[in-house]
Every structure is written in C-alpha cells, then in structure tokens.
C-alpha cells in the first residue's frame, strides 16, 4: 500500500508561513507537520512552540531529515528558487508561495530541478480554488459570454509606510522583484490570464508615485489577447485607503464581474443574475495583507497532498505560474513602448 500521509516542513515563519500555511496544514489529515525553519531563529522557535513541532539548526539539517517528504517555502519571493532547488536535489517535493520566483531564470531552474529529481512542484496561487472563480472559468469555457471582447483587472490597494519600513525585503528589486504587480497584483493578473488566454501585445506605464521604494506602487497596462479581446491591468499600493480587487469580463453575450473573489455581476443573456451572485464578502488584502481568506490555501494545500500521494502533478504547476511572472516582467520591460509577441 502507498503512503497515506506526507511529512512536511515549513521554511519561513513570517506572516504567510505562520498564520496561513501552518494553520491550514494542521487541518489537512494528509499532512504531518514535521518541523519549521527560518533564518530568524526566534521566529522559528515561536512557531515551533505554538504548533508543537521541532526546529532545525539549519536548512541542510531540514533537508537531511528523512521524515520530510515536502518542503513548503514561505520565504521572500526572490529566495524561492534558491531554497527550492536544493530541496528538489534532496529528493523533496516542493511547494513555493507566489510568485514562483522573481526572475524567469530562477523559476525555470526550480522547475528543472524538480523535473530532474523526479519531485513535484506546486506554486501557491490559491485563487484557483475559490469556487466563484472556478464557476466563472467554467462559464467562459462553456461559452456563456460567447466571444470575449474586453476585460479589466484592477488591484487598487493601499499599503501604509510601515508595511515597507518594517520589512527587509518588501519593496526591494532583489527580493520582492517588483511591487504592486509582482507582490499584490499577481493573483488577479494570474486569473486574468486564466480567463483570457495568451497575450498578443502589450504596453504599460510603470511608476513609483507615493512610497520611497525601489519598485512600482502604480502600474497600468494595456493588452491585446490572442483571442482579439482588449484588456487593462491596474495595480497599485498607493490608492488610499485600498479597494477590493476587481475583474470585469465583457463578451458578446454579456458581462461578469468579480470583486474580492466574489461574483458581483452576472448580466448574461438568458441567465437570471440572482442565481449567480455571491452573498458573502470573502477576504481582500486591499489595505491589510493579513486579511485574505485562509480557505483557499487550505483547499490548494489539500489538493497538492492528494496529487502527490496519487503520483500526479499537483496544482498549480511551475509552468502555469511562469505565465503571470513573465507577463509582469514584460509589463515592467514595456514601460512606454509596445511589446508584440
Ligand atoms: N498567497 C498569498 O496570498 C500570499 C500572501 C502573502 C505573502 N505571500 C508570499 O509569501 C512569501 C513570504 O511573505 P510573508 O508576507 O510571509 O513575508 P514575511 O516577511 O512576513 O516572512 C518572511 C520570513 O522569511 C524569513 N527570511 C528572510 N530571509 C531569509 C533567508 N535568507 N533564509 C531564511 N529565512 C529568511 C524571515 O525571517 C521571515 O520570517 C512571499 O513570497 C510572498 O509573496 C503570499
């Protein structure tokens, strides 16, 4: 009989590691949390104490632990590949938080390391597990809107100065890799691509307008998709006090809109809107990064365990996560000119 449970170690005991991954993992029977590690020993010790698991003296000791099947990386974005590759070489399955990394080269190295060592790679893009998002995706696949004409993705969020000042890595080119798009907007951009498909051409304006940071706090992109639809992406951490992120979809047969991951408009020929609208407001990180919902992390981490135990590719794959990374990097590169693919 195959394995029924996976030993998992969480690397990075900051906000997402401590308050989302650890909490979610302990509710999923397919995981046994073996231990945690963080460069900040006090952060690791506090999480180990709260969740009654062990810590490791260093990362290598964690990788040497035969009880660890899966390494779950919740480190600053620019370290995902750097820590993920040795985990794969140690024969561990790898989970990394979004973005997969901040450069295509590092992301590809991580994908290759997992492939070459026969281990799985999953990137946390938990919105794929939001039932409302899945409903919209299915409706588009079923042709509910007919041919797609236009779309808007808007992440007009706000981060107070303390958010950047209190972090060694947020707002830095090296470890955050970008700002409002790479860190905050990526979920919405990833979904926009999921809904509309490949991009044919794009232009953008990328600015730092409010915060004293190395990366953008305001960016606007104009896109043309392969299917002919036109779209805009707005991403910001300078829109006070922060507004729930929105995606609007327009097609031949009507329009659908999502706000903070819930369906707020379903004006589609032949459909009764009240059958589709979501009653409950799910979490949005519009002004507080910790205000996102934990449920979708739980659903994705559970789906990852099920896939690994069944010997299948877990969601969301490295290749899929590369799409939003590439698009964001191209939006930065465009800044004032057109890129045609
Ligand atoms: N999926 C989501 O909705 C979501 C939400 C927030 C953050 N994230 C992602 O999670 C990751 C972590 O974000 P966070 O908000 O938890 O950050 P954080 O700053 O709260 O935590 C990062 C942790 O990494 C540790 N660390 C830093 N450098 C290290 C190193 N060289 N070696 C080992 N440990 C090191 C720090 O001590 C800290 O405990 C980022 O990639 C971010 O994009 C995802």
Is residue 283 in some structural domain? yes
Is residue 308 in some structural domain? no
Residues 59, 46 within the same domain = yes
Distance (Å, whole) CA 268 – CA 66: 54
Is residue 84 in some structural domain? yes
Is residue 298 in some structural domain? no
User: Ligand 1 pocket check: which of 11, 12, 122 to mutate, most ligand atoms within 8 Å of Cβ?
Assistant: 12
Residues in the chain: 341
Residues 114, 139 within the same domain = no
pLDDT of residue 2: 72
Instruction: Verify whether ligand 1 is closer than 6 Å to residue 300 (CB atom).
Output: no
pLDDT of residue 313: 96
**Residue where a domain terminates, one of 108, 124, 140:** 124
**Which stretches of the chain are assigned E, i.e. beta strand?**
6-11, 31-37, 54-55, 70-73, 93-97, 121-124, 148-156, 199-207, 218-225, 230-236, 246-251, 254-259, 262-268, 339-340
* Residues sharing a CB contact under 8 Å with residue 15, sequence separation 6 or more, in sequence order: 289, 290
Residues 95, 198 within the same domain = no
Residues 140, 214 within the same domain = yes
Dump pLDDT digits (tens) for 146-169: 999 999 999 999 999 999 999 999
Instruction: Verify whether ligand 1 is closer than 6 Å to residue 77 (CB atom).
Output: yes
**Residue where a domain terminates, one of 124, 148, 179:** 124
Total of domains in the chain: 2
**Residue where a domain terminates, one of 89, 124, 159:** 124
For residue 162, the CA-to-ligand 1 centroid distance in Å is 16
pLDDT of residue 281: 65
Q: What CATH number is attached to the domain comprising 89?
A: 3.40.50.720
Residues 287, 161 within the same domain = yes
For residue 230, the CA-to-ligand 1 centroid distance in Å is 34
Is residue 155 in some structural domain? yes
Distance (Å, whole) CA 226 – CA 199: 6
For residue 55, the CA-to-ligand 1 centroid distance in Å is 17
Q: By alpha-carbon position, which residue is closest to atom 29 of ligand 1?
A: 39
What's 217-241 look like in SS3? CEEEEEEEECCCCEEEEEEECECCC
Residues 164, 273 within the same domain = yes
Instruction: Verify whether ligand 1 is closer than 6 Å to residue 126 (CB atom).
Output: yes
* Residues sharing a CB contact under 8 Å with residue 288, sequence separation 6 or more, in sequence order: none
Q: By alpha-carbon position, which residue is closest to atom 5 of ligand 1?
A: 16
Is residue 263 in some structural domain? yes
Instruction: Verify whether ligand 1 is closer than 6 Å to residue 94 (CB atom).
Output: no
pLDDT of residue 290: 83
Residues 119, 136 within the same domain = no
Instruction: Verify whether ligand 1 is closer than 6 Å to residue 97 (CB atom).
Output: yes
Is residue 179 in some structural domain? yes
Residues 114, 136 within the same domain = no
Instruction: Verify whether ligand 1 is closer than 6 Å to residue 76 (CB atom).
Output: yes
Low-confidence ranges of the chain (pLDDT < 50): none
Residues 76, 160 within the same domain = no
Residues 186, 76 within the same domain = no
Instruction: Verify whether ligand 1 is closer than 6 Å to residue 257 (CB atom).
Output: no
126 CA: nearest ligand 1 atom = 1
Instruction: Verify whether ligand 1 is closer than 6 Å to residue 19 (CB atom).
Output: no
User: Ligand 1 pocket check: which of 16, 94, 168, 321 to mutate, most ligand atoms within 8 Å of Cβ?
Assistant: 16
Domain ranges, residue 145: 128-293+324-340
Query: 17 vs 10, 74, 75, 76, 281, CA distance in Å?
Result: 7, 5, 8, 11, 24
pLDDT of residue 1: 54
Residues 145, 276 within the same domain = yes
Residues 165, 36 within the same domain = no
Q: What CATH number is attached to the domain comprising 193?
A: 3.30.360.10
Q: By alpha-carbon position, which residue is closest to atom 30 of ligand 1?
A: 39
Distance (Å, whole) CA 86 – CA 293: 31
Q: By alpha-carbon position, which residue is closest to atom 15 of ligand 1?
A: 15
Residue 32 in 3-state DSSP?
Answer: strand
Instruction: Verify whether ligand 1 is closer than 6 Å to residue 70 (CB atom).
Output: no
Instruction: Verify whether ligand 1 is closer than 6 Å to residue 318 (CB atom).
Output: no
Is residue 316 in some structural domain? no
């Amino acid at each position: 009989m195959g394995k029924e449970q996976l030993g998992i170690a969480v690397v990075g005991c900051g906000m997402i590691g401590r308050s989302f991954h650890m909490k979610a993992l302990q509710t999923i029977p397919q995981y046994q949390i073996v231990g945690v590690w963080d460069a900040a020993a006090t952060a690791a010790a506090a999480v180990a104490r709260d969740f009654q698991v062990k810590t490791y003296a260093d990362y290598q000791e964690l990788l040497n632990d035969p009880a660890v099947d899966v390494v779950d990386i919740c480190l600053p974005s620019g370290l995902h590949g750097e820590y993920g590759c040795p985990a794969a070489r140690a024969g561990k399955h790898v989970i990394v938080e979004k973005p997969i990394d901040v450069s295509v080269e590092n992301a590809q190295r991580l994908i290759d390391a997992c492939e070459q060592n026969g281990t799985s790679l999953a990137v946390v893009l938990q919105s794929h597990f939001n039932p409302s998002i899945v409903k919209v995706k299915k409706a588009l696949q079923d042709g509910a809107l007919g041919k797609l004409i236009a779309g808007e993705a808007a992440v007009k969020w706000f981060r107070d100065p303390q958010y950047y000042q209190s972090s060694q890595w947020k707002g830095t080119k090296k470890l955050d890799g970008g700002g409002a798009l790479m860190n905050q907007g990526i979920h919405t951009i990833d979904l926009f691509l999921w809904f509309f498909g490949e991009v044919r051409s794009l232009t953008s304006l990328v600015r730092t307008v409010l915060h004293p940071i190395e990366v953008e706090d305001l960016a606007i992109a104009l896109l043309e998709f392969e299917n002919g639809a036109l779209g805009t992406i707005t991403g910001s951490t300078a829109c006070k006090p922060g507004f729930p992120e929105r995606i609007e979809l327009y097609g031949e047969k009507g329009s659908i809109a999502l706000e903070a991951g819930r369906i707020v408009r379903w004006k589609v020929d032949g459909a009764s809107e009240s059958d589709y609208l979501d009653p409950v407001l799910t979490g949005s990180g519009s002004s507080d990064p910790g205000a996102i919902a934990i449920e979708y992390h739980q659903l994705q981490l559970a789906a990852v365990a099920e896939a690994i135990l069944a010997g299948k590719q877990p969601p969301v794959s490295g290749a899929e996560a590369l799409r939003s990374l590439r698009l964001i990097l191209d939006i930065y590169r465009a800044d004032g000119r057109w890129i045609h693919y």
